């Protein structure tokens, strides 16, 4: 693996200096920037335009205990159960206990959560939840509303410079494995000198052919961290959302049809009209997400069809248009009246449980390198994330990161010179390589895996990475493909290492599917042994 992805030939670089650099302006990045002390200068790097992040696509909402019928113990239990016993209990407890406080904090910033006629929060059940505890905004526009409010608040902060269309190429470290800065591409390469970098770049969606993620979500922050020597964990656990809209004219789309639709009575049906979830789990259509996605996958495999149906025709058009305005409009625009017709759906990549290994303060094993949100490997989701725990995770662990940074003075730092690697060849076939990685991961690193397929995919992706080793990665789109290759390699290696199926990692060549969770914890212990970091 090359230590630096960016093309080191064109020097010297224009240099800027900040106390803290936050990479990514989804909920995790924005909230971190918002919570940083005003005494710290902060650069907030946005890969595209502000407001265009992955969090803005979140429909379902935020899981938090807000009603007397619910309690934190139950939310913790549901999270641990959905994670198949592999979630870190201390982290889960912290996340769940801080949930209600964070909801109040958001309200004080101007976020408006949907309420019942009587004034209490309107909460819904989603997969794996035993209680109604998912809060939402604008029906199914939770993420969009949150990001509008938070981005507006962060723009008011005098100590934060928002750098849009600014791509993270690399994190620079010194001799003692400490952060010294970042290299970014913003109309050319530039260096930012800093001793604190917070990676909040979200997940890895573009590594797969079909994903609900935004186009820019390619694991850039995680890959840049890997190049510094940062440890990762839980890389084999990739979550597929059971229900993305399947366009019967043009094929699979990445448009999410929220689990909340099933929370409001939606039923999954096969092409014969049968409600098939009953055969898979006692919670039926509200089973944990890994089980539901796999059940659909198996149903599609058995029938030879490329989608199933989500049936919410039990609800009126008025109810659906008010409760799910985004989904209702999308279906209508594609010729489906969800009040009278079943919605064609299929599972697609949605979320990444793995990421940069961090402790509960968001610190990685590299001094000064933090991560929060989907890019972080806190293990709070175990082998399968409980629905709507991701926005909650963003809030709680962004605060943990910001609090830790606020408690320490940034060190004086200088950017070391990065050796010029000499002549590299001009990139060729980049688009082809991107397509190959996505196809290989979709086919062999997806919902159902086996040793043979993963070994084949790993060898092919390694060949691509090896070719890129000697290319001058002059543009973000070049580096992005190299990042995708690194992430794919990590996922496949971790998935090959874990011999038994658990949660989102389902191996058809493993006999022990969802067996004794104590055994799974033992597997995990071995694996996480490599990933231990006590900064």
**CB-wise, 59 or 313, nearer to ligand SIN?**
59
Cis before 12 (ω within 30): yes
Measured from the CB atom, the residue of 143 and 476 that comes closer to ligand SIN is: 143
Smallest separation, CB 94 to ligand SIN (Å): 19
Residue 213 found at the interface with ligand SIN (CB under 6 A): no
Minimum gap (Å) between residue 390 Cβ and ligand SIN: 5
Q: Closest CB to ligand SIN among 88 and 140?
A: 140
- Closest CA relative to residue 184, chosen from 29, 18, 30, 300: 18
In whole angstroms, the minimum distance from the beta carbon of 385 to ligand SIN comes to 7
- Asked whether position 287 contacts ligand SIN by CB under 6 A, the answer is no
Of 40, 50, 16, the residue nearest 153 (C-alpha):
50
Separation of alpha carbons 172 and 428, rounded Å:
26
**Stretch of residues binding ligand SIN (CB under 6 A), selected from 24-32, 383-391, 457-465, 483-491:** 383-391
Does 285 participate in binding ligand SIN (rule CB under 6 A)? no
Q: How far is CA 51 from the centre of its chain?
A: 17
Q: Is 388 in the site for ligand SIN (CB under 6 A)?
A: yes
Q: How far is the CB of 143 from ligand SIN (least distance, A)?
A: 9
Considering the complex, state which of residue 297 and residue 351 has its C-beta at the smaller distance from ligand SIN.
351
Q: Work out how close the CB of 258 gets to ligand SIN at its nearest, in angstroms, rounded to a whole number.
A: 3
Structure letter (DSSP) for residue 83: T
Query: Hunting for tokens 């999270």 — which residue is that?
Result: 79
Scanning 111-119, 150-158, 384-392, 406-414 for contacts with ligand SIN by CB under 6 A, the matching segment is 384-392
Q: By CB under 6 A, how many residues form the interface with ligand SIN?
A: 10
User: Rule CB under 6 A: is residue 252 a binding residue for ligand SIN?
Assistant: no
Write b or e for each residue in 243-276: b if 16 or more Cβ atoms lie within 10 A of its Cβ, otherwise e.
bbbbeeeeebbbbbbbbbbbbbebbbbbeeeeeb
Are the beta carbons of 62 and 134 closer than 8 angstroms?
yes
Is residue 349 part of the contact set for ligand SIN (CB under 6 A)?
Answer: no
User: Does the footprint of ligand SIN cover residue 143 (CB under 6 A)?
Assistant: no
User: Residue 529 contacts by C-beta under 8 Å, 6 or more apart in sequence?
Assistant: none
Between 228 and 258, whose beta carbon lies closer to ligand SIN? Answer: 258
Q: How far apart are CA 236 and CA 249, in angstroms?
A: 33
| By the rule CB under 6 A, 55 interacts with ligand SIN | no
When binding is defined by CB under 6 A, the residue of 54, 55, 211, 258 that contacts ligand SIN is 258
d(CA 220, CA 487): 9
For the record, the structure tokens of 60 come out as 């379902």
Rounded least distance, CB 503 to ligand SIN, Å: 15
Residue among 41 and 349 whose Cβ is closer to ligand SIN: 349
Task: Please report, to the nearest 10 degrees, the dihedral formed by the alpha carbons of residues 309, 347, 434, 422 taken in order.
Answer: 160
* Stretch of 70-78, 328-336, 382-390, 427-435 lying at the interface with ligand SIN (CB under 6 A): 382-390
Asked if residue 251 lies in contact with residue 207, where contact means CB atoms within 8 angstroms, the answer is no
Alpha-carbon span 469 to 409, nearest angstrom = 37
464 exposure class (CB count in 10 Å sphere: 0-12, 13-18, 19+):
buried
Place of tokens 């019967």: 248
- E-state strands within 270-407: 308-311, 343-352, 355-357, 369-371, 376-377
Figure out which of the listed residues 19, 259, 285, 393 binds ligand SIN, where binding follows CB under 6 A. Answer: 259
Q: Which of residues 169-208 bind ligand SIN (CB under 6 A)?
A: none
Is 379 near ligand SIN (CB under 6 A)?
Answer: no
Select the residue whose beta carbon is closest to ligand SIN and give its number.
Answer: 60
Q: Which of 109-117, 199-207, 258-266, 336-344 is the region at the interface with ligand SIN (rule: CB under 6 A)?
A: 258-266
| Min CB(463)–ligand SIN separation in Å | 33
Q: Is 253 in the site for ligand SIN (CB under 6 A)?
A: no
Which is nearer to ligand SIN, 113 or 351 (by Cβ)? 351
Q: To 5 degrees, how large is the angle CA 300–CA 306–CA 310?
A: 75
- Between 160 and 260, name the residue whose CB sits nearer to ligand SIN: 260
Query: To the nearest whole angstrom, how small is the minimum distance from the Cβ of residue 209 to ligand SIN?
Result: 19
What amino acid positions are annotated as catalytic residues?
Answer: 289
Shortest reach from residue 296's CB to ligand SIN, in Å? 14
Q: Helices 142-155 & 390-406, crossing angle to 10 degrees?
A: 20
**Identity of the residue, 243 or 474, whose beta carbon is nearer to ligand SIN in the bound complex:** 243
Report which secondary-structure segment, H or E, holds 169. Answer: strand 167-173
Stretch that binds ligand SIN, among 13-21, 197-205, 245-253, 255-263 (CB under 6 A): 255-263
Q: Where are the strands (E) in 266-425, listed by range?
A: 267-269, 308-311, 343-352, 355-357, 369-371, 376-377
| Nearest residue to 422 via CA among 112, 84, 2 | 2
Note whether 59 binds ligand SIN by CB under 6 A. yes
Cα three-residue angle 63-127-401, rounded to 5 degrees: 35
CB of 267 to ligand SIN, least distance (A): 16
Are 287 and 127 spatial neighbours (Cβ–Cβ below 8 Å)?
yes
Nearer residue to ligand SIN within complex by CB, 387 or 405: 387
Q: Report if residue 211 touches ligand SIN, rule: CB under 6 A.
A: no
Contacts to ligand SIN by CB under 6 A: 59-60, 256, 258-260, 351, 387-388, 390
């Amino acid at each position: 693996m090359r230590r630096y992805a960016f093309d080191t030939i064109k020097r010297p670089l224009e240099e800027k200096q900040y106390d803290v650099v936050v990479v990514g302006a989804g909920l995790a990045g924005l909230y971190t920037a918002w919570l940083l002390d005003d005494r710290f200068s902060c650069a907030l790097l946005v890969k595209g335009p502000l407001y265009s992040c992955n969090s803005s696509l979140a429909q379902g909402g935020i899981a938090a205990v807000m009603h007397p019928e619910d309690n934190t113990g139950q939310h913790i239990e549901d999270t641990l159960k959905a994670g198949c016993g592999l979630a870190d209990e201390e982290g889960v407890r912290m996340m769940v206990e801080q949930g209600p406080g964070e909801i109040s904090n958001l309200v004080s910033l101007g976020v408006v959560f949907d309420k019942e006629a009587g004034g209490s929060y309107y909460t819904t059940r989603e997969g794996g939840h035993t209680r109604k505890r998912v809060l939402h905004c604008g029906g199914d526009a939770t993420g969009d509303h949150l990001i509008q409010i938070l981005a507006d608040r962060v723009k008011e902060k005098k100590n934060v410079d928002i750098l849009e269309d600014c791509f993270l190429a690399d994190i620079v470290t010194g001799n003692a494995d400490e952060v010294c800065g970042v290299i970014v591409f913003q109309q050319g390469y530039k260096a930012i000198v800093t001793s604190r970098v917070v990676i909040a770049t979200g997940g890895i969606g573009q590594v797969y052919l079909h994903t609900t993620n935004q186009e820019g979500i390619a694991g850039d922050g995680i890959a840049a961290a890997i190049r510094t020597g940062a440890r990762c964990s839980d890389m084999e656990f990739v979550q597929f959302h059971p229900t993305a809209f399947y366009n019967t004219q043009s094929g699979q789309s990445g448009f999410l049809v929220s689990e909340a639709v099933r929370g409001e009575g939606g039923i999954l049906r096969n092409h014969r009209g049968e409600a098939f979830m009953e055969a898979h789990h006692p919670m039926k259509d509200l089973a944990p997400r890994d089980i539901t996605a796999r059940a659909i996958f198996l149903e599609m495999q058995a029938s030879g069809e490329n989608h199933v149906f989500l049936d919410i025709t039990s609800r009126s058009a008025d109810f659906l248009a008010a409760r799910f305005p985004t989904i209702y409009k999308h279906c209508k625009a594609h010729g489906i009246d969800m009040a009278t017709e079943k919605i064609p759906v299929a599972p697609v990549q949605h979320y990444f449980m793995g990421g940069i290994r961090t402790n509960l303060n968001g610190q990685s094993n590299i001094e000064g390198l933090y991560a929060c949100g989907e890019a972080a490997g806190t293990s709070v989701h175990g082998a399968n994330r409980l629905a709507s725990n991701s926005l909650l995770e963003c809030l709680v662990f962004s605060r943990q990161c910001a609090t830790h940074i606020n408690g320490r003075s940034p060190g004086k730092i200088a950017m070391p010179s990065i050796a010029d690697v000499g002549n590299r060849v001009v990139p060729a076939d980049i688009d082809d390589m991107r397509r190959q990685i996505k196809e290989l991961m979709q086919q062999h690193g997806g919902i159902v895996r086996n040793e043979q397929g993963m070994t084949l995919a790993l060898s092919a992706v390694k060949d691509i990475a090896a070719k890129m080793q000697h290319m001058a990665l002059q543009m973000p789109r070049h580096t992005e493909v190299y990042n995708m290759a690194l992430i794919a390699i990590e996922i496949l290696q971790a998935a090959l290492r874990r011999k038994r199926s658990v949660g989102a990692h389902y191996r058809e060549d493993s006999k022990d599917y969802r067996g004794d969770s104590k055994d799974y914890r033992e597997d995990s212990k071995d694996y996480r042994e490599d990933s231990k970091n006590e900064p």
